[in-house]
Chain A
Amino acid sequence: MSATVSPLPASRARLGLRTGLLVALLLLAAMPVLNQLPTTHPLHVSDFLVSVTGKWICYAILALSLDLAWGYAGILSLGHGAFFALGGYAMGMHLMRLIGPRGVYGHPVLPDFMVFLGYRELPWYWLGFDHFAFAMLMVVLVPGVLALVLGWLAFRSRITGVYLSIITQAMTYALMLAFFRNDMGFGGNNGFTDFKELLGQPLNTSAARSGLFYASLIALAGAFLLCSRITASKYGRVLTAIRDGENRVRFLGYNTTHHKLFAFVLSAMLAGVAGALYVPQVGIINPGEFSPANSIEAVIWVAVGGRGTLVGAILGAFTVNGLKTWLTSAAPDLWLFVLGGLFVLVTLFLPKGLIGLLKGRGA
């Protein structure tokens, strides 16, 4: 449990990473612009690549949030996909309300699936979601409150390690079952889809797509800066200390429950933001996002990149998802072997992930 991942020394390596990160950021930012070039142009970036990169950026935010909880606070959450999905559902509810009377059934207020299921009026928990600000508040608030309740119950009872992992996995499993039900009022099996517009912009235009792309990129950069600040602060040091020896920190007089709770809740909120940015880009959200396998896949992104490094989480999310996108079309049968192999490889031979590998080379 007390696997130590030493923070990177403020050295050449760190400087190199910072520069690399900045270059990567600029390259990413250039993608929608290059997409506008004529298709024959050698620097043209295809629509597919832009949209898939937009997805990966959202995954990177999720990985970042998970790294904050696992890499720094030692909370291995196997349920972060649930926070991601809840943020996505909050955004999805807003998008559904914005469809208005343009649905198949043409009902002025009710989304199609509610008309289909025989709802007479909007359930109370759907009220307010027609306002963008309210919906965005819910994007962070719903995952945050769930993390607060779950974390408070768990950390107060000193549930740590694998027990906590199992509990979080059971949480996302229970939520998945719940969201599959039609009478929950969240579209059941099919979830939400057929979104029309966001902030007055039709979603199917390239302007809206690049807007969402940049919003995700800014969110990623912002989340990275926030997490770097936090982990470098005194609070961050205490958090790392809790990860490495919770009892000792407790005996030194720190309230470890509150420290962990803050990190866990913030992490859940970031995951919610990631989900909210993800949904309008892929155009659908359904209960499958709650599946435990999704959450554990996110864990492996962080592990592959190198946990407790923040940069590693982002790197891992891009690497693994890049591999996944390539392999699932090139050799679909092989992908699960590669993913499973990654789990084994990283835990046995690469405990510090790709970042550890790079750092080893640089030193």
Chain B
Amino acid sequence: METSNWEPKIVAFLCNWCSYAGADLAGVSRLQYGPNVRIIRVPCSGRINPLYIVRALQNGIDGVLVSGCHPGDCHYISGNLVARRKFALMKRLLTYIGIEPERVQFSWVSASEGNRFAALMNKVIDDIKKIGPAKKLVKSVA
């Protein structure tokens, strides 16, 4: 694929209660961000199985964003806090084996942060555009 007209495919896993609502607010407020994102709604960032992330990369996704409620704001009290431990380790392990740190990103977005969501998406898209298409972990049939 030509890099010049290549547009990255990005998957965002957003928690139902904060980040998904934040994305909704960004939409309702008519904030502009890149069209590269496919959003998958999950009940809580604690629902994220690391396999979701690596499976996305295996299927040819160029970047993954996982976002949940800010620490302390979780709808289920502590789902995002337990998830935070998983994410911290996952990020380190992926970077350690040689995956670009920008490829998989984690963030917190609340329901009132439409601006933050739009800005965050633009940042992720920019980051992925800089590092180019994902090649590692991709399965050939994808």
Co-assembled chains A and B: no
- Residues of A at the B interface (CB closer than 8 Å) are none
